[in-house]
Amino acid sequence: MDEVDGMSGNEDRGGLQELVQLVKNSRIPIICMCNDRSNPKMRTLANYCFDLRFYRPRVEQIKGAMMSLAFKEGLKIPPPAMNEIISAANQDIRQVIHHLSMWSASDKAMTYDQAKSDAQQAKKDLKIGPFDVCRKVFAGGEETAHMTLNDKSDLFFHDYSIAPLFVQENYLGVTPFSARGNKKKHLQLISKTADSICDGDLVSQAIRSSQRWGLLPTQAFFSSVIPGEYMRGSLGHMVTFPSWLGKNSSRGKTDRQLQELRAHMKLKISADKNSINLEYLPHLRKSLTQPLIKLENDGIPEVIATIDQYDLLKNDIESILEITQWSGRKDPWSMVNSKVKAAFTRTYNKEVHMTPYSTVTMGKKTKKGAALGEDGEMGEEDGNQAVESEGESDGDVATDAMIKAKKPTAKGKAKDAGGKGKGQGKGKGGGKRK
């Protein structure tokens, strides 16, 4: 089964599950091949397979076979020229054979300069992922020894939106060759790399804010080329995914929660989001949890009074606890007895809590178009329209949503049907003939 990582879409829906069943029940070995082993769809299949990974062959491994093939075909080509052809094809054996076949059709002898020129013109364009880009930025040795500045800059443009984040996340894990074990020089290189990444971030901000996309090559040098030159060496661990993306998502969620809390409390306090976070929420955290922990059921009225005093909702307690929770500290809400939590919820729901803002969410529309909320309340505009049309529909009982018409029973329907039949009989033949 080739290209099993491409088994998706409506045409192949359920294909992986069927393949897993075949692997389970078959007595014949099934070889499943894929290009993207890290694809999430391969996790299920990998649990039922022996994971055998093949890596791209090195230039030295391909060179001997290609030189033997060229000798048998009568093609004279120097070994350095063969290295250029293999590197330009990105170690693709089939493409190397195609190039040798095409170039040897006219001339059976090739020089180094001719092979290098032809190889550069037929260079294979390859799209590599951000993990490989980051590894190549810091890689040293033969792999990057012959790369020009343009080649190093091109690594940034494979995905310029996320490549700087990978560099920033992994540069501390690189052991630079130029430091040679000197810790002081190692720290100096880390400092220079951090300064360059900061400059690249400033350029990125200028690009995004004023749409100056012509500065992308400048960002490529600050965010990728210069850090790679300073920290070129060996990466001591696997390339890790940027943690900034997850932190930024959490920051956005916290910002939305703070904005909502400020909107609820703005008539009681005069503070912005930062002041609420630093000055109000730590004290509110204690006021909303300590009475329930220490006094249990007797502390419920005090907590509800605090909520009403700041025009908060019950759901705001979760937001306050989530914002003020730090790693390594125990969540105080987990220390509250479950029975006390249930009693607090019941007591809060029984009481009426007046808030200076609307808490009604849009629900289903009635036949007249009035949107009802969770508590069955109508909006202000819809209520006014209903009042205006009340005089027009007073006499129409059938269309009044507040009056439930009584349905006739089955016995009444049968009686009405019998009465109609008798009346018709009298009308047709019930009279005396003259």
pLDDT single digits (tens) 357-416: 877 655 555 544 444 444 444 444 444 444 444 444 444 555 554 455 565 665 555 555
340 close to 332: Cβ distance less than 8 angstroms: no
- The residues with which 109 forms a beta bridge, in sequence order, are 76
Q: What is the pLDDT of residue 328?
A: 83
| C-alpha pair distances (Å), 431 with each of 202, 318, 434 | 106, 83, 9
Tokens 């074990």 found at: 181
From residue 199, how far is each of 135, 224, 401 by CA, in Å? 22, 11, 67
Q: What would the two tokens of residue 10 be?
A: 């409506």
pLDDT per residue as tens digits for the range 37-69: 877 788 888 888 888 888 888 888 888 889 898
Instruction: Note the helical H segments in 221-272.
Output: 226-230, 244-265
Are the C-beta atoms of 130 and 170 separated by less than 8 Å?
no
Mean pLDDT of 310-315: 90
Q: Which two tokens stand for residue 108?
A: 């059976």
Question: Which pLDDT does position 238 carry in this prediction?
Answer: 86
Residue type, 99: H
Q: What is the pLDDT of residue 388?
A: 46
For 306, other C-beta atoms within 10 Å of its C-beta total 16
Give the mean model confidence (pLDDT) for residues 24-30: 90
Of the pLDDT bands very low, low, confident and very high (cuts 50, 70, 90), residue 145 is confident
| Confidence at residue 409, expressed as pLDDT on a 0 to 100 scale | 60
Dist CA 291 CA 293 (whole Å): 5
Total-model pTM:
0.57
The confidence score (pLDDT) of residue 369 equals 47
Residue with tokens 């082993």: 37
State the helix-helix crossing angle for 59-72 and 79-88, rounded to 10 degrees: 120
pLDDT score of 367 = 47
In this predicted model, what pLDDT tens digit does every residue of 99-118 receive, in sequence order? 888 877 777 777 778 777 77
Is the model's pLDDT at 190 over the cut of 90?
A: yes
Between the two ends of the chain, the Cα-to-Cα distance in Å is 98
Whole-number average pLDDT of the chain:
81
Angle, helix 338-350 to helix 281-294, in steps of 10 degrees: 110
Is residue 315 predicted with pLDDT exceeding 80?
yes
Is residue 91 within 8 Å of 123, Cβ to Cβ? no
Most confident of 5-14, 57-66, 276-285: 276-285
How buried is 18 (Cβ within 10 angstroms: 0-12 exposed, 13-18 middle, 19+ buried)? exposed
Question: How far is the C-alpha of 343 from the C-alpha of 240, rounded, in Å?
Answer: 46
Average pLDDT over residues 302-313: 92
The enclosing H or E element of 235 equals strand 233-235
Task: Tell me which of 90 and 225 has the higher pLDDT.
Answer: 225
Digit-coded pLDDT (tens) for 192-223: 999 999 999 999 999 999 999 999 999 999 99
Which pLDDT does position 339 carry in this prediction?
A: 93
Residue matched to tokens 């560099």: 167
Higher pLDDT pick, 140 / 302: 302
- What's the mean pLDDT in 137-162? 85
Radius of gyration of the chain (CA): 38
